[in-house]
Structure 1
Amino acid sequence: MAESTLPAESSLPTWLGVDALARVWAILGDGLERRGLVATGRLEVRDLTREERHGLTDLLGVAVTSPRVRIDLARLDSRITQRTGSDLVTTTSLALRRGLADRPALRHERAETRQAPFLAVRAWLSETWPDQEVAVPEWLHAWLEGLRRDGVLARVREADRVVVRALEVLAARDAFAAADDDVPADRRGTVARTELAAQVTGSSHGLDDGEPLSVVVLRALAARAGAALAQSAHDRRLLWESVGVVLDSVSSTCLVWGLAPQGGSPAARRLTASLEGGAPVHATWWDLNDGLRLATGQAVLVCENPRTLEAVAERGRDGPGVVCTMGRPNLVVRSVLGLLCDAGARLRYHGDFDWPGIGMANACAREYGALPWLMTAADYLAGHGTQPLVGGSVEADWDPELGAAMRGRGVCVHEEAVLGVVLRQLDDLAG
């Protein structure tokens, strides 16, 4: 019993309900709650007034003449039971007009509640990988530790069920695959978040922003990526897209210019119209789902910053097509790059000379065969930059001297700072 119940029809005898005993009942209530509602041990009451001493004399059945008294709870329980028929806990509840809490039991219940999600995780992992041939990824431990440390699950009803559902979501999107065996999100197939939510939770809104399950899954995806917790809608979108989950078909886009389509789908016709008019296009999931295909063997510059694409479009001459990642590439960008890769495009990558930029260049080269272009140590040293490099250094796969040059100089060189060089050599890229 974690809490005593207040009898509905009982009343406190007049001799026990005097005002002079109000503070004494409060002290008795606190002492009983700390003892798990068991009348044992002694309680000391200090600084007694004359009225309180008179009230305690009637309560204890012995004269109280000192401003301090020690109350034997077991003896008081026996006296009250004999005189009223109710035990000390019930009588104290009546005096305080509330049930008494069994604090040790409540602490135990809270501890069990806090532990239940983590026991559920262990049970799920044991059932999923009973032979232990598949190693539990390290990021999973970081995720669970973060949930425990931040008290996220303490604010969630049925937290054990929520955390198991989160594991089911992650398993459904192959999030537990080893990094070296992981299939890029754009190649594993995509699923709408509403469809995934309906599949796992039975409700298409079960993974909406702000839903407890969505919060817990996003924390897992952040731990998996070694990234900070998502604070913006853009960050949340990128985390979902990292496992091939699409929020909608129109708001996530890939900025392109000069790409030649293949076939006669509506998306291809729109791309053809933009190619003829010279205007950049934001390709969407709608276009990809509409059957967009790209012509084979194109020369394509993959850049990081939209100003680069804009400058190429303003140039207005024949040249390579351009795909802009707009920083860290979203799933639409990666899917467009996948289409180009499948079509045998000659991809060249140019981005910022900072550590995230080097990491993105490495990823683009590994996943899509793009060759870094104008991104050697000499290109970096020739560029203008003043902002300091921040974060952990990243070695460039294509130039072993670039990382050392960047660490030695210690500044970023952004893509816009070398735009003139990029434009002057663009014709060579197209050839």
Structure 2
Amino acid sequence: MNSNRECAEYFRNQKVYDRCFQELWKKWRSYGRVAGKITLKETSEQERRAITGIIGKVFYERKIQFSFAEFEAGLQRTRFAPVDMKQVLEEYFGKKLQTSQTEQKEKEKQKNDFLLTILDDFKKKTGENSVAAKWLETVIARKKYGNQVIIKEYRKDPQQAEHLVKNAGNALLKLEELKDMETDSPLAVFAADVSGNPHYFDRGSPGGMLLIHGICYLKNADSPENAHSWRKLLQSVRIIPDNVSSLVHAYGLHLMTKDGLHPAYEAFCERKEPYVITMENMRGILGTQAEEKVYIVENEMVFTYLLSHLCDQSATVLCTSGQPRSVALLLISMILKGKAEIYYSGDIDPDGIRIADKLWKKFGDGIHIWRMSPQDYEKSCSMEKIGDSGISKLENISHRQLKLTAEAVKIKRLAGYQENILQELLRDIKGEA
């Protein structure tokens, strides 16, 4: 029998050496040779005696340490000598032993070969200068525009990763067709057409993330930071995302079309009733008409209370239901272009303050922060405590008044809610002192 194999078989049958050989394997992977020190903690008396029998050193403590070279020299004094340590380890574990660096290089080569094979396929089927081929060339060369998404999925399942890359490339080719046809396509329809699955390019899915990276390549753009910029990026290539879930509640806001005021929303305005506007409804809307002051609140219950107490008084009031979505941001832009002033009020807690601050940063002084001063905070305070993670959100607030309010919240660490200042909000809208 081969001495290396015989040696490995002997030690494999002596379980007391198992931890020692595990560490020997790790050291060879790190150094690629007999090098380094082996440390075994909480050893048993049997383990210590076994190691002593090989290297000739007596151990008394439960934690023992010896060099790889000492162990290898000990083996060369046994009946198995001469032995090759690398081959002994390979026989012991039943697999090829490579250094971590060599293994990493092989994995990198396999990954590049994987991408180059798909690239070659794209070039053969769609031409060397097709958008799919050029995108994948950039992914490979610059490690950008989806490289991390591809590698993550490749590690999970190479075959599924191949489908993912091909679907993303085919999607970019399809986008070129849409551009030439000058037509829009709903995201679900587009996804089904490319992959057979209407949810394949949903936001946050591997396909959705890779599609966005591909579009960023087309547009030479940065990755979208939020849902609104994600929506805008898709729309820039004539893909229409879900336009129903992005909505805002409104009262007294007139919507303009090329043919004049929108008749359906005019009916609500004439009846002095609130209504819902989605992104789908905004197709064909060119602008808005509003009262000189437009009031925006964050909370649906607050919105309902204010409308029920306006007593048919003329007013324009919107409700964002928390974080303003795309339709709300679009309407705010149109309202400001119409020269109306906007007064925004939200809950006086970390999330509410951040939302207000972001709106002001985006739209400037056309947005007036309304009823969110330190004095309003005192009136709106609840008994709900704010934890450390919430308090940390109050850093880097830019608006001057909101900065002061944020400092007050940091001290008191209690959330303030619009429901506690309903009368003040109502008096402001009514213009009462």
The letter for the 1-side match of 2:419 is E
Cα separation, 1, equivalents of 2:4 and 2:346: 74
Determine the structure 2 residue equivalent to 1:377.
374
Q: Deviations over 1:124-160 (max 9, x none)?
A: 269789xxxxxx9xxx9xx977987xx5442253648
How far residue 396 of structure 1 moved from its aligned partner, in angstroms, is: 4.7
Cα separation, 1, equivalents of 2:269 and 2:380: 32
Q: Quick one: which of 384, 396, 405 aligns to 1:387? A: 384
SS in 1 for 2:357: helix
Contact persistence 2:251–2:269 (CA under 8 A) = yes
Residue pairs, 1:283-362, within 5 angstroms: 283-291=277-285, 293-295=287-289, 298-315=292-309, 316-362=311-357
How far residue 339 of structure 1 moved from its aligned partner, in angstroms, is: 1.8
Assess, with a 3 A threshold, how the Cα gap between structure 1 residues 304 and 406 changes in structure 2: closer, same or farther.
Answer: same
Q: Quick one: which of 271, 277, 283 aligns to 1:277? A: 271
TM, length-normalised to structure 1: 0.55
Assess, with a 3 A threshold, how the Cα gap between structure 1 residues 146 and 402 changes in structure 2: closer, same or farther.
Answer: farther
Cα separation, 2, equivalents of 1:40 and 1:330: 72
| Structure 2, unpaired ranges of 5+ | 14-77, 85-93, 120-134, 176-183, 217-221
| Structure 1, unpaired ranges of 5+ | 1-27, 29-38, 50-67, 75-99, 130-135, 174-189, 228-236
Assess, with a 3 A threshold, how the Cα gap between structure 1 residues 107 and 125 changes in structure 2: closer, same or farther.
Answer: closer
Residue pairs, 1:66-85, within 5 angstroms: none
Residue pairs, 1:11-410, within 5 angstroms: 41-44=4-7, 45-46=9-10, 110=107, 112-113=109-110, 124=138, 151-156=152-157, 157=159, 159=161, 162=164, 192-194=186-188, 205=198, 206-208=200-202, 212-214=206-208, 240-241=230-231, 243=233, 246-263=240-257, 268-291=262-285, 293-295=287-289, 298-315=292-309, 316-368=311-363, 369-389=366-386, 390=390, 391-394=392-395, 395-399=397-401, 400-410=403-413
Contact persistence 2:256–2:286 (CA under 8 A) = yes
Determine the structure 1 residue equivalent to 2:49.
none
The letter for the 1-side match of 2:315 is P
Cα separation, 1, equivalents of 2:323 and 2:114: 33
Cα separation, 2, equivalents of 1:397 and 1:165: 45
Contact persistence 1:257–1:322 (CA under 8 A) = yes
Cα separation, 2, equivalents of 1:291 and 1:363: 25
How far residue 371 of structure 1 moved from its aligned partner, in angstroms, is: 0.6
The letter for the 2-side match of 1:330 is R
Cα separation, 2, equivalents of 1:226 and 1:208: 16
Contact persistence 1:396–1:402 (CA under 8 A) = no
Q: Quick one: which of 420, 423, 426 aligns to 1:420? A: 423
Further displaced range: 106-115 or 402-411: 106-115
Further displaced range: 303-312 or 397-406: 397-406
Q: Deviations over 1:200-233 (max 9, x none)?
A: x687845146853225568999x96778xxxxxx
Determine the structure 1 residue equivalent to 2:128.
none
Further displaced range: 412-421 or 208-217: 208-217
How far residue 336 of structure 1 moved from its aligned partner, in angstroms, is: 1.6
Assess, with a 3 A threshold, how the Cα gap between structure 1 residues 154 and 250 changes in structure 2: closer, same or farther.
Answer: same
Cα separation, 1, equivalents of 2:156 and 2:280: 38
SS in 1 for 2:414: coil
SS in 2 for 1:283: strand
TM, length-normalised to structure 2: 0.55
How far residue 304 of structure 1 moved from its aligned partner, in angstroms, is: 0.9
Percent of aligned pairs sharing the same letter: 17
Contact persistence 1:350–1:373 (CA under 8 A) = yes
Cα separation, 1, equivalents of 2:212 and 2:413: 34
The letter for the 1-side match of 2:336 is C
Cα separation, 2, equivalents of 1:70 and 1:307: 83
Assess, with a 3 A threshold, how the Cα gap between structure 1 residues 114 and 357 changes in structure 2: closer, same or farther.
Answer: farther
How far residue 264 of structure 1 moved from its aligned partner, in angstroms, is: 7.7
Assess, with a 3 A threshold, how the Cα gap between structure 1 residues 163 and 385 changes in structure 2: closer, same or farther.
Answer: farther
SS in 2 for 1:344: coil
Higher relative contact order (CA 8 A, sep 6+): 1
Question: Cα RMSD between the aligned structures?
Answer: 5.1
How far residue 331 of structure 1 moved from its aligned partner, in angstroms, is: 0.9
Cα separation, 1, equivalents of 2:266 and 2:108: 63
How many pairs were matched up? 309
Cα separation, 2, equivalents of 1:48 and 1:163: 44
Contact persistence 1:351–1:415 (CA under 8 A) = yes
Cα separation, 2, equivalents of 1:295 and 1:330: 20
How far residue 265 of structure 1 moved from its aligned partner, in angstroms, is: 5.8
Q: Deviations over 1:348-400 (max 9, x none)?
A: 10001122212211222233321111111221122222222314214251414
Cα separation, 2, equivalents of 1:344 and 1:114: 56
Cα separation, 2, equivalents of 1:310 and 1:117: 57
How far residue 290 of structure 1 moved from its aligned partner, in angstroms, is: 3.6
Q: Greater share of helix residues, 1 or 2?
A: 2
Q: Deviations over 1:405-429 (max 9, x none)?
A: 1211111102222222211222128
The letter for the 2-side match of 1:257 is Y
Cα separation, 2, equivalents of 1:225 and 1:255: 26
Assess, with a 3 A threshold, how the Cα gap between structure 1 residues 278 and 264 changes in structure 2: closer, same or farther.
Answer: farther
